[in-house]
Amino acid sequence: EKIIKSIEELTAQGDTPGESAIRMAYKVAKSTFITGGNNRIILATDGDFNVGETTEKALDELISRERQSGVYLTCLGVGMGNLKDSKLQVLAKKGNGNYAYLDNIAEAEKTLVQELTQTLYAVADDAVLNIEFNPAMIKKYRLIGFDNKREALENSSVDLEGGEVGSGNSTMAIFQVTPTDLNLLTKTSQVTEDIAQVTVRYSAANDTVIQKMGCRVPHNFRSIDEVDVSMKFAASVTLFAMKLKNSPFATGDWNMVQELALASADKGNYLQTEYLKLIESARKLYDTKKKKRKKKGAEE
């Protein structure tokens, strides 16, 4: 009750000394540190720090030093207009934590109630997935997404920082591949070589021992109609994201996005049903823009 009362008495006014607040939070977290426990700071802000250290670089260095203490950092973006989204994402990444944007009460409930364990309880630190394609089978490949890490991913000499994985959470990496002449990726292909080798590297939460596990990716081509619903749903989300960015690689249309989603979405999953609504909204928005461009072109 005391905590709830204190939160309800908070008001938004004056300067935002983000740096000093972060330093104080780490100081308190370290003074009450529980060995083997879930020691975490939750920073809810618009990220518009205007007192003390305010640059992303300076805050980055501060968080990078403090992460060695074993205290995690969760950043919650709130507010509209002056939200400094990129700054909060950087802080969460450097703080061995995660980031979520709370634009309404439903999103807050999802992050802090329904997905509480995924958000606040880490089971693995510095998790990195590495995939090595067999050049005899795969001529070219493209990692979909991760545009903000493109330079680091293209530099093979860079040791990438891993991420935190929450309890009950899952991650997925999706690649677009071009097969070699040897591997036509068809059912009738008699090739027995593996397509790739996958390795996952991580350390258990609050542990420094690096653990590894790996598996082969066999030649096991299946068409989109034959894969399970989770793969179909992932394909729909991937194409949806590429359509939003007007990616030159998005060869499918909005009908395909919607058909894949309708065929695979779990109607009992509120996030997936929300995704269906997002598709409908985006489709109307992008179709309207397209019609306006066509009309303008015709007038010219």
Flag whether 289 is in a domain: yes
pLDDT of residue 190: 59
pLDDT of residue 158: 56
**Low-confidence residues of the chain: pLDDT under 50:** none
- The answer for residues whose C-beta is within 8 angstroms of residue 52's C-beta and 6 or more apart is 17, 18, 19, 20
Give the count of beta carbons closer than 10 Å to the beta carbon of residue 241: 15
Say whether both 248 and 191 belong to one domain: no
Say whether both 162 and 200 belong to one domain: yes
Question: What are φ and ψ of residue 203, in 5° steps?
Answer: -130, 145
CA–CA distances in Å: residue 257 to residues 38, 51, 194, 220, 250: 39, 45, 30, 24, 10
Comparing CA positions, the residue from 212, 211, 183 lying closest to residue 197 is 212
pLDDT of residue 106: 81
Could you tell me where the beta strands, DSSP code E, fall in the chain? Answer: 40-45, 72-77, 98-101, 122-133, 138-143, 163-166, 175-179, 196-204, 210-217
Predicted TM-score (pTM) of the model is: 0.68
pLDDT of residue 156: 56
Flag whether 280 is in a domain: yes
pLDDT of residue 188: 56
Flag whether 298 is in a domain: no
3-class secondary-structure state, position 198: strand
- Our CA dihedral for 273, 142, 94, 206, rounded to 10 degrees, sits at 80
Say whether both 92 and 183 belong to one domain: no
Helices (H), 167-269: 229-244, 254-264
Range of the domain at 104: 2-120
Residue 34: alpha-carbon gap to chain centroid: 28
Number of separate domains in the chain:
3
Q: Tell me the residue type at 213.
A: M
Flag whether 64 is in a domain: yes
Say whether both 217 and 277 belong to one domain: no
Flag whether 299 is in a domain: no
Flag whether 192 is in a domain: yes
Flag whether 300 is in a domain: no
- Express each pLDDT in 289-300 by its tens digit: 666 665 566 555
